[in-house]
Chains A and B, each alone.
Chain A
Amino acid sequence: MTENIQLNSEGKLKHFLSIEGLNKTLLTEILDIAESFIGMNDQQIKKVPLLRGKTIVNLFFENSTRTRTTFELAAKRLSADVLSMSIATSSTSKGESLLDTIRNLEAMFVDMFVVRHAISGAAHFIAQHTAPHISVINAGDGQHAHPTQAMLDMFTIRQVKQDFSNLRVAIIGDILHSRVARSQIQALNILGAAEVRVIAPKTLLPSHVESLGVNVSHDLTSGLKDIDVIIMLRLQKERMTSALLPSESEYFKCFGLTEAKLKIAKPDAIVMHPGPINRGVEIDSKVADGPQSVILKQVSNGIAIRMAIMAMAMQKQGAAG
């Protein structure tokens, strides 16, 4: 990366597009600020006036209920005016229309875009072409990055495990298509986790996956040994029709997390999942709802982490006038 468009000249967050290129101090700052917002959840008035008068547009070119909702709630709790748009796109739609959409919204004096798009690099593209005062937050682009999800996962891990340096983390499932996994791997490595392990059949691993800074296993049983944090990934149905896997049942047999397999990991291991869960495909209900699961905690943490990131990106904006 020749320059990091995510940071302004003072090294402060301007856009939040990917974990890559951010340092440990900044990631820790995000986690700390999110921590300060967490207490608000129990208060009667769940609002702070940090972004009063600011306009945030959620631009979702890809469907998502939960991510959009948490972004919306986060913006509202920061007292911003928020508008959510679901824009159906087909694969034939071209950059012009994407840019036109952005230009039109810019003309309505927007301060921040939260973007989800099915194509890798879409958030970068918007950040590069939008007016200089506008911040762009990546809410997931193609198979590239989902950095706010990764940060809320880091937040959840830190809540339970306090420190990253002794942690062995296993990410299990469809790494190939997962923007979440890419962002998690980068975040874990920057925060200094002892080991990041990916466990999947070869068909669901990208080539040169080791270059991301992970160890690779194709076997869940041996792969779970000594693991402190288990992150399960969602398996999309399309993977069967595109000949990446024979069947859901065979996948569950090999890579589904059951109570028996969970016992192989460390006794205090936690189980995570970015959702939505396919029960009986990648994870057994007993595990998903069991005592080691922190899946719902992840969801509630999603609001605080997104508040932190939005507030930080806007702070630079306030300073710049």
Chain B
Amino acid sequence: MSQIHIKQGQIIDPANNINRIGDVYIADGKVVSVTHEPAGFKPTTVIDATNKIICPGFIDLSTRLREPGQSRKATFKSEAIAAASAGVTTMCLQPDTNPVIDTPAVAELIKELAEKAHYPQIYPIAALTRKLEGTELSSMLSLKQAGCIAVGNAQQSVKNLLILRRAMEYAASHDLLVMFRPNDYWLGNNGCAHEGAVATRYGLPSIPEEAETIALAQCLELVELTGCRMHFGQLSCKRSVIKIYQAKKYGLNVSADVAIHQLHLTENDMIPFDSSYHVLPPFRTEEDKQYLREGLASGTLNSICSDHQPHDIDAKLGAFPETEPGVSALETLLPLMLKLVEQGAISLQQGIAALSENPARVLHLNSGALTLGYAADVCVFDPELTWQVNAENWKSQGINTPFWGQEFKGRVTHTLQAGKIIYSLE
């Protein structure tokens, strides 16, 4: 029986309202005690967490690991290592794989790939509609039974509101969470940059924020009509935050997250035509960024996701509009969250909650906390340790990050998934 003793760290466990120096005891994969040593505890491993922070492992609501279908970009193996090194212990997988996650067979394949990568806590999100085409419902119940944690639309718009209504009704019938990125297909107009001064200067096809806010407003109406439980992912602008705030106040059962890079970068940070800044939704204005930060601080947005999208080099090699969108983001998740704390946007407790307790709540998982009896998903990090984003440190197969070469403060030293040490910094 493996017993792990994590010694003398600053325990921050927002779900249990713990913030103090202490020890965490793990046996048989579960948290057995926080602070007091259980009787007869004989640790097989001791982790010294002096001057470090012990917190629940991170739960990422939006990732892409590129398998099945695009193993040239990344594999479960490569990204499981990246996730473990980033303190991430649970990942939700967007359905836009190839083939799309719209049959139980694909969901089962994903479970298998996760086991083979020794990172079992990967939860597929099933496609809301068959092939994500927005025309027919997917077999949601079978997909749920095959292990899908929710249904979603990935980057695709559902153009037909009647189909969306029915999909939401059907999901609600089976108590399935719908994870949705609102984007009006027509207003989006195949753009690649925020509709603003920068896109205008560089002649880039642009996406107005209304592509997001109008789709969001429609969805909120449908949430009321259908009673569906809905989580909005990767919101990017001020008026989306306001809409979520109003909807919650009005009493709708909705939640929302923001991708970590949206809290740090704006259209003005983009180096002209540098494809590592090509993301969807696009980087918007300083005001939008501030609202997203405030939305996080006030709890309107309850979670931060990495929106991890590793790419091969060729995918980003071309004129900006022709390149593929997305950032390889797992490994900068923690340091960028800590930067928000350093800049005074949120407290450390809030940041950790947005990466653990809150996403667990969205997913109805018994996780994201150091609660006694829970599977021991734990992240130990040194908040002062600096490191550089470079080839030596980087684990993900995708090096597509606008932060390449930058120095960050805050590094994970140990990651435990269900009581198993899946990462320790050498």
Q: Which residues in A have some Cβ–Cβ distance to B below 8 Å?
A: 1-2, 20, 94-96, 98-99, 117, 119-122, 124-125, 129, 141-145, 179, 182, 206-209, 211-212
Contact = CB atoms under 8 A, between A and B. Distances in A.
B322 interface: yes
Interface stretch (B20-28, B91-99, B195-203, B389-397): B195-203
Nearest to B208: A207
Contact of B321 (A142, A145, A206): A142
Nearest to B192: A120
Nearest to A98: B318
A98 B319 CA distance: 9
Contacts of A145: 203
B200 A206 contact: yes
Contacts of A208: 196-197, 200
B201 A125 contact: no
A120 B318 contact: no
A119 B271 contact: no
B273 A207 contact: no
**Interface size grouping (class) on chain B:** 20 to 34
A125 B203 contact: no
Given A121-B273, A208-B196, A212-B200, A95 B206 contact: no
B204 interface: yes
A95 B201 contact: no
B119 to A, nearest CB: 31
Interface in B316-372: 317-323
Contacts of A122: 319
Contacts of B195: 207
A129 B273 CA distance: 13
Contact of A209 (B200, B205, B271, B322): B200
Given A117-B319, A122-B319, A207-B206, 14 more contacts: A20-B201, A94-B314, A94-B322, A95-B319, A96-B318, A98-B318, A119-B322, A120-B205, A121-B321, A124-B273, A143-B204, A143-B205, A144-B203, A182-B201
Contacts of B69: none
Interface string B48-66: 0000000000000000000
B198 to A, nearest CB: 9
B373 interface: no
B405 interface: no
Contacts of A119: 319-322
A143 B195 CA distance: 14
Contact of A121 (B200, B202, B314): B202
Contact of B320 (A99, A121, A206, A207): A121
B272 interface: yes
Given A94-B318, A121-B319, A211-B197, A143 B273 contact: no
Contacts of B201: 20, 182, 211-212
A125 B271 contact: no
5 contacts: A20-B201, A99-B317, A121-B320, A125-B320, A143-B205
A120 B314 contact: no
B32 to A, nearest CB: 52
Contacts of B200: 206-209, 211-212
A145 B273 CA distance: 13
A95 B322 contact: yes
A120 B203 contact: yes
Contacts of A211: 197, 200-201
A125 B196 contact: no
Please give me the 10 A-B residue pairs with the lowest Cβ-Cβ distance, nearest first.
A95-B318, A143-B203, A144-B203, A121-B273, A211-B197, A206-B200, A122-B319, A119-B319, A121-B319, A121-B320
Given A20-B201, A143-B203, A207-B200, A96 B317 contact: yes
Nearest to A92: B322
Interface string B166-203: 00000000000000000000000000000111011111
Interface in B294-333: 314, 317-323
A208 B194 CA distance: 11
A144 B320 CA distance: 11
A96 B275 CA distance: 14
Contacts of B317: 95-96, 99, 129
Given A95-B314, A212-B201, A125 B319 contact: yes
A142 B273 contact: no
A2 B272 CA distance: 9
Nearest to B273: A121
Contacts of A209: 200
B272 A142 contact: no
Contacts of A117: 319
Contacts of B203: 120, 141-145, 179, 182
Contacts of B204: 120-121, 143-144
A95 B320 CA distance: 9
A296 B179 CA distance: 59
A268 to B, nearest CB: 32
A115 to B, nearest CB: 10
Nearest to A2: B271
A127 to B, nearest CB: 10
Given A95-B319, A98-B319, A120 B196 contact: no
Contacts of B271: 1-2
Interface in B202-239: 202-206, 208
Nearest to A21: B272
B320 A120 contact: yes
Contacts of A95: 314, 317-319, 322-323
B272 A1 contact: yes
Q: Which of the listed residues B202, B205, B206 has the most CB atoms from chain A within 10 Å of its own CB?
A: B202
A23 B203 CA distance: 21
Contact of A96 (B272, B314, B321): B314
